[in-house]
Structure 1
Amino acid sequence: MRVLLLFLSAVAILGLAAEAAAQAPVAAPAGRKLRVVTRNLEPFSFEKDGRRVGYAAELWDQLAREARLDYEVHVVQTAQEVIDALKNKTADVGVGAISVTSKREEVIDFSQPFYESGLQVLVSGASGSFADNLMALVKNLFNVELIGAFALLMVTMFIISHLVWRYEHKVNSDMWPKDYKAGMWESFWWTISTLLVGGADNKGPVGVGGRIVAIIWMLLSIVLVSLLTASFTTTLTINTLKGDINGPGDLPGRKVATVKGSTAESWLAAKGARVETFATITEGVLALKAEDVDAVVYDAPVLQYEARKLNDEKLQMVGPVFERQNYAFALQQDSTLRESLNQALLKLTEQGVGNELRKKYFGEDH
């Protein structure tokens, strides 16, 4: 009986000890604080009023409190430095807009994703002012496509005018004088009138040859007017409002800015763009404003945040979000923190913490 009581007491003591251990803070190895490495990238992690704020930074802080983790923050310059610190085991956790990729998964681990993102294109288009839009309109009137179309139209009109004069001046010299210069002037007037309004008042071919040419020109005019209208509308609308880059398909061969060491840099290089790298995305956007580059490609939420912060009507996001990717907290390979962090992250998600941060930093509420 005494043995049984001693056994039950031992089980109870072990149970209490296990419960106490579960409720105690999860300490880093050797009793030290967790080493958290991050970089300044608005709106995910940056310094403001002496505090580390941002979507990822604030989510991590709540996650650490939920998992009862004690930590200290170290700031580095690039995403690659974050990965290297975890790979070399000089840091325990990476916090920020860190994309989950297969290449990174080979050397480090990740928590469950906390934000779905992707790349997008930022360009500098026309502003909303009348003067700027008018200048952009005039500039686009002189593009190669429209000039070529207009030149082809003029050549076609000259040929038609010549043929009509050739047949008509012999049988209708009152309307088409035999003098070539005077006859061509009258013939060209008829040709352009037919193109624009369907004919000229009190003037028309009467000979068989002239009428055959006239019928051909009338039918051709219908097609030409439709094609020219579509060409002018499409070219002027797209080029005036957004320039000639309207999505990722227009980037090969163009000068595009992004952040050095980012996934965007690798994607752009693979697609044949002329990549200009910068230490921060802010520098890349300023280069776009200065017309030093044709576009900026980077993580969509970061670009949207930068464009909204600068409050410049010329900065426009174009095309769809592509190369979709997830952000997660980065960990050392085979980290023992992964399970506890995932459980705490799921709990915070169920509590709506992620939605609150989205609304705070991106104006999103979903």
Structure 2
Amino acid sequence: MQAVCHSVLSLWLFFCSLIAVTLPTFASDKISVSVGTYHCPPFVIESETETPIGLSIFLWEQIAAELNLNYEFSHHELGELLDNVSNNKLNIGVSCISITPEREEILDFSHSFYETHLAIAVKQQGHLSTIKNIITNRKLLLVLGFICIVASLVGGFYYLLEHKVNDKLYSMRSNKAQMIEGFILGLLFITKGPFNYFEFKTLTGRILTVFLAIFTTFFIASVTAILASTFTLGLLSSDIKGPNDLANIAVGAKLKSTSSLFLTNHSIVHRTYQDIDKLLTALDSGQVEAIVADDAVLKYLIKKGKEKGDYQTLSVLPYQFEKQNYGLIIENNSPHREKLNRALLRIRKSPGWRHALSEYFAEH
């Protein structure tokens, strides 16, 4: 009996030992990775007391859940984040990080998950500056000059045809006054549209009215579009028509960003700021006249700032250039890259991803 008890006890101890050995193996099935972030609303929105949120954070959380990963977030500035991933101090970098050839040389990227462009933000000018910009706008002056020339031609042609036989349209006695009437007629014709067919006495005048009716329809639409664009840009900054105009003014960009690299590559001297919030503050306080950053980030931050009473005079100009594709940054030769990319592609097709896009960008 004692021998039997001893055998049972030995068997029990064996099973206990086996369980103790295998438990760590099962626990280690969940891989742990270190994840770095940097503040870049609405992709990464950080606070001192709460876990970061944002579109990129949502994407990473979905990927981590699908790949059964353990992770902890740590905050970094952009340059530090790039260096730490390239030096294998971090496994993953999550934020609004543009995929560029220069960065690809030192680290790997996931597939792109969001596409935007670079854009220019400026501070709206005062009323006097706005009026001055509109009045001195070259495009506006050219349009007004063209309108006067066309009005003179149309009015002069009708004057030759009608001034001797049409007392209703040409009621002044002197020829000079009648010529002024002809110019006014031409100006009204091309800005308001054709007159009534029966207002003209000559057959040639009536035939011309029919053809000009077609021409003025397109002419008025074109001039209206040009003037609307000119006045809209006059309210912002008539001096900046695109990135090439930045060379003559004080410009800011975020340190070690693709915006700063773009300006450097185009020989545009600029000031750099540690983060996007300091960059916007510099523009709002007049330290710089324009800033360059990613379009999606600028529009989101300016909109949120205006809701709080800040950045009331800041606007993003309607010029987009230098396409940007965002990806997660991954340490070189990561064994998880293929699995991560497959998970990312699946998540981008999911209803949850579409809902997240709508949540952060629906109002832009």
- Same fold by TM (over 0.5)? yes
Q: Which residue of 2 aligns with 1:54?
A: 54
Q: Which residue of 2 aligns with 1:327?
A: 326
Look up the equivalent residue of 2:287 and give its one-letter code. D
Which region of structure 1 is more displaced relative to structure 2, 240-249 or 38-47? Answer: 240-249
Unpaired stretches in structure 2, ≥5 consecutive residues: 1-24, 143-169, 191-222
Secondary structure of the residue aligned to 1:258 is: strand
Q: Which residue of 1 aligns with 2:67?
A: 67
Contact 1:110 1:329 in 2 (8 A): yes
Residue 201 of structure 1 deviates from its aligned partner by 6.3
Give runs of aligned pairs for residues 1-366 of structure 1, distance below 5 A. 25-27=29-31, 33-48=32-47, 50-78=50-78, 80-126=79-125, 133=127, 135-140=128-133, 143=136, 237=231, 240-244=234-238, 245-311=240-306, 312=311, 314-363=313-362
Contact 1:248 1:319 in 2 (8 A): no
Instruction: Give, in whole Å, the separation in 2 of the partners of 1:103 and 1:271.
Output: 16
Residue deviations 1:159-181, cap 9 Å, x none? xxxxxxxxxxxxxxxxxxxxxxx
Secondary structure of the residue aligned to 1:251 is: helix
Supply the RMSD in Å over aligned alpha carbons.
Answer: 4.0
Look up the equivalent residue of 1:299 and give its one-letter code. D
Instruction: Give, in whole Å, the separation in 2 of the partners of 1:141 and 1:112.
Output: 45
Residue deviations 1:106-144, cap 9 Å, x none? 111111111112211112225xxxxx54x3444337759
Instruction: Give, in whole Å, the separation in 2 of the partners of 1:22 and 1:346.
Output: 29
Residue deviations 1:327-353, cap 9 Å, x none? 111111111010121122122223233
1:341–1:309 Cα change, 3 Å: same
Residue 262 of structure 1 deviates from its aligned partner by 0.3
Unpaired stretches in structure 1, ≥5 consecutive residues: 1-20, 28-32, 127-131, 150-198, 206-214
1:233–1:110 Cα change, 3 Å: closer
Contact 1:255 1:273 in 2 (8 A): no
Look up the equivalent residue of 1:121 and give its one-letter code. I
Residue 313 of structure 1 deviates from its aligned partner by 5.1
Instruction: Give, in whole Å, the separation in 1 of the partners of 2:171 and 2:253.
Output: 58
Residue 233 of structure 1 deviates from its aligned partner by 5.6
Instruction: Give, in whole Å, the separation in 1 of the partners of 2:333 and 2:299.
Output: 35
Count how many residue pairs are aligned between Structure 1 and Structure 2: 278
Residue 301 of structure 1 deviates from its aligned partner by 1.0
Instruction: Give, in whole Å, the separation in 1 of the partners of 2:269 and 2:104.
Output: 28
Residue 76 of structure 1 deviates from its aligned partner by 1.0
Residue deviations 1:212-258, cap 9 Å, x none? xxx9xx99xx99xx9xxx8x968972553221223324323322211
Instruction: Give, in whole Å, the separation in 2 of the partners of 1:236 and 1:364.
Output: 25
Instruction: Give, in whole Å, the separation in 1 of the partners of 2:320 and 2:265.
Output: 18
Secondary structure of the residue aligned to 2:247 is: coil
Residue deviations 1:74-97, cap 9 Å, x none? 21122x211211111111111111
Instruction: Give, in whole Å, the separation in 1 of the partners of 2:90 and 2:353.
Output: 25
Look up the equivalent residue of 2:332 and give its one-letter code. Q
Look up the equivalent residue of 1:253 and give its one-letter code. N
1:137–1:42 Cα change, 3 Å: closer
1:144–1:364 Cα change, 3 Å: closer
Instruction: Give, in whole Å, the separation in 1 of the partners of 2:106 and 2:333.
Output: 10
1:239–1:77 Cα change, 3 Å: same
Q: Which residue of 1 aligns with 2:20?
A: none
Instruction: Give, in whole Å, the separation in 2 of the partners of 1:336 and 1:364.
Output: 39
1:46–1:145 Cα change, 3 Å: closer
Contact 1:57 1:95 in 2 (8 A): yes
